[in-house]
Amino acid sequence: MDPRFLHHNTHLIDPKEFEDRDPNLRYLRSQKYIYISPLIEQFPLDIPGVYTLSGGRQIGKTTLLKQWMLYLLEKKISPGSIAFLTGELIQDHFSLIHLLQRLLESMPQGRMRYIILDEITYVKDWDKAIKYAKDAGMLDECILFLTGSDTGFLKDARMRFPGRRGKASTVDFHYYPLSFRDTVFLKCGLKSEEEATVDMLYQEFHNYLLHGGFLTAMNDLAQNGEISTATLTTYSDWIRGDMLKRGKHEHYLREIITGIIKRYASQITWNSLAKNQAIDHPQTILDYVSLLEEMDAVFVQQALVEEDLSPAPKKARKIYFADPFIYHALYAWLYPVVNPYTTQILAHIADPICASHLVESSAVTHYRRYWPTYYIKGASGEVDIAYVKDELFWPVEVKWTNQIHLNELDQAAKYKRSVVLTKRKQTGHIGQMPTVPLPVALFALNTAFL
């Protein structure tokens, strides 16, 4: 093992002490909330191939893979058959090929080997090395996991390795921040859905609007009573750094994020977003927003063409931050204050308009985890969510207000399958449309519990 990577491979010293020695797992044990993702049991054990794990910055991908290493050790996989490498320490594809050759030669032969290449996009021309290794037969008895903090590297993998990924039914995995459901189970120690009460869900949803699905923010709030400035800054610094690494300009990024926040939850065109900004070309706006989307920082929601269940390319879009914590972190970067948690985050949640926008964005970005998700722009108004399932679209309106007027739902009322997610704690109807408490709906999303 190359000594540069030894501190990530302490299982080679003593597998029984891996959890105590590894920096990620040791830090995890010091936290109040420790999440174990079900993805661990979905990862391959015995099918060789090139697999990918994508997901945004600071959501715990590295820790997840360290937990998987611990899982492999518990499955009696030989410690010498497991290796963790970080792309930050590998210069280019020549260095990567040489490193893989030496590593594979040192690992036990005649059995499966497990190699993790974390943040592969740091390696220049990384895809050339993986293609060479696969074509040369170096990976025939190997499960190789590649991770990246944007989905762009997935496109490279699919394009450059057709037929070389392996025989598993799933080779690409995506790691999101914790969903509202995951958060409630973790923080409340639930064993089943039935243990959740409506009051519990409403309290935890309020908290979710503060910390989102980011474990660091959750643990900050649990241990210190607030989300620290350092936690917020760490995330915004990663976003800025990744943009600069791609040759983008920080002042353009600042203008674009400012424009998104000012028009949050509203329809946006690239021309309108460029208006009154130093950026004079809509294509530049599109390039920056596309990168933010690849980085899992935003979700761009397009309008639905109802006839063929496809996006309407010429209609305006809505841009949502992918998690409430991302909104708070980037807002704190744009408008720095001494204590952003008290001055900004709590104030945003207390403000009815801002809170309703964060609630709407949370609902939209939860639905999009499971189904293609759009909004409807019709003659009688909008519908916040139209998700496609079973070759049908299902309209969902979000109303986080104390009073709902039927004339605000004219467009939703046109569809037989429309549902309204509300601030009320009881189910009911408005007109012919069923109403469901929004936290209850998000908690039960994509389950048979509701």
In tens, the pLDDT along 360-371 reads: 999 999 999 999
Q: Are residues 211 and 341 in the same domain?
A: yes
Closest CA to 171 of 49, 85, 55: 49
Q: Is the pLDDT of residue 448 over 60?
A: no
Q: Is residue 140 part of a domain?
A: yes
pLDDT 10s digits, 366-392: 999 999 999 999 999 999 999 999 999
Q: Are residues 87 and 220 in the same domain?
A: no
State the average pLDDT over residues 242-248.
91
Q: Report the helix count and the strand count for the chain, using DSSP H and E.
A: 19, 15
What pLDDT sits at residue 121? 86
What pLDDT sits at residue 413? 96
Type and span of the H or E element at 430 = strand 428-430
Q: How many CB atoms lie within 10 A of CB 122?
A: 17
Q: Are residues 203 and 162 in the same domain?
A: no
Closest CA to 431 of 398, 408, 448: 408
| Domain-terminating residue out of 129, 159, 174 | 174
What pLDDT sits at residue 368? 97
Q: Are residues 296 and 194 in the same domain?
A: yes
What pLDDT sits at residue 167? 74
pTM: 0.94
For the chain, the domain total comes to 2
Band of pLDDT at residue 447, cut at 50, 70 and 90 = confident
Band of pLDDT at residue 396, cut at 50, 70 and 90 = very high
Q: Is residue 317 part of a domain?
A: yes
Percent of the chain surpassing pLDDT 70: 96
Half-sphere exposure for 318 (CA within 13 Å, toward CB): 24
Rounded Cα distance between 111 and 99, Å, is 20
Q: Is residue 345 part of a domain?
A: yes
- What domain range includes position 127? 3-174
Q: Is the pLDDT of residue 150 over 70?
A: yes
Token pair, residue 133, equals 């290794």
Q: Are residues 138 and 229 in the same domain?
A: no
Q: Are residues 135 and 187 in the same domain?
A: no
pLDDT 10s digits, 153-187: 666 666 766 655 667 778 889 999 999 999 999 99
- Cα–Cα–Cα angle for 359, 360, 363, rounded to 5 degrees: 85
Q: Is residue 328 part of a domain?
A: yes
Sheet with 113-118, strands from edge to edge, namely 82-86, 113-118, 142-148, 49-54, 172-174
Phi/psi at 270 (nearest 5 deg)? -65, -35
Q: Is residue 450 part of a domain?
A: no
State the average pLDDT over residues 137-145.
94
Task: Pinpoint the alpha helices (H) of 31-138.
Answer: 39-42, 61-74, 93-106, 126-135
| Domain-terminating residue out of 154, 174, 194 | 174
At 33 the three-state DSSP class reads coil
Q: Are residues 227 and 142 in the same domain?
A: no
Closest CA to 410 of 421, 418, 402, 400: 418
Q: Are residues 83 and 194 in the same domain?
A: no
- Residue 363, judged by CB atoms within 10 A of its CB (0-12, 13-18, 19+), counts as buried
Q: Are residues 230 and 106 in the same domain?
A: no
Q: Is residue 239 part of a domain?
A: yes
Closest CA to 119 of 283, 330, 295: 295
At 429 the three-state DSSP class reads strand
Residue 353 CB contacts under 8 Å (≥ 6 apart), including other chains? none
Half-sphere exposure for 18 (CA within 13 Å, toward CB): 22
Beta bridge partners of 173: 53
Q: Are residues 101 and 141 in the same domain?
A: yes
Q: What is the CATH number of the domain that holds 73?
A: 3.40.50.300
Q: Are residues 362 and 231 in the same domain?
A: yes
Q: Are residues 157 and 201 in the same domain?
A: no
| Domain-terminating residue out of 111, 145, 174 | 174
Q: Is residue 427 part of a domain?
A: yes
- Mean predicted lDDT score pLDDT of the chain: 93
State the average pLDDT over residues 230-252.
94
Q: Is residue 103 part of a domain?
A: yes
Per DSSP bridges, beta strands 419-422 and 142-148 are: unpaired
What DSSP designation does 448 have? S
Number of residues that this document lists for the chain: 450
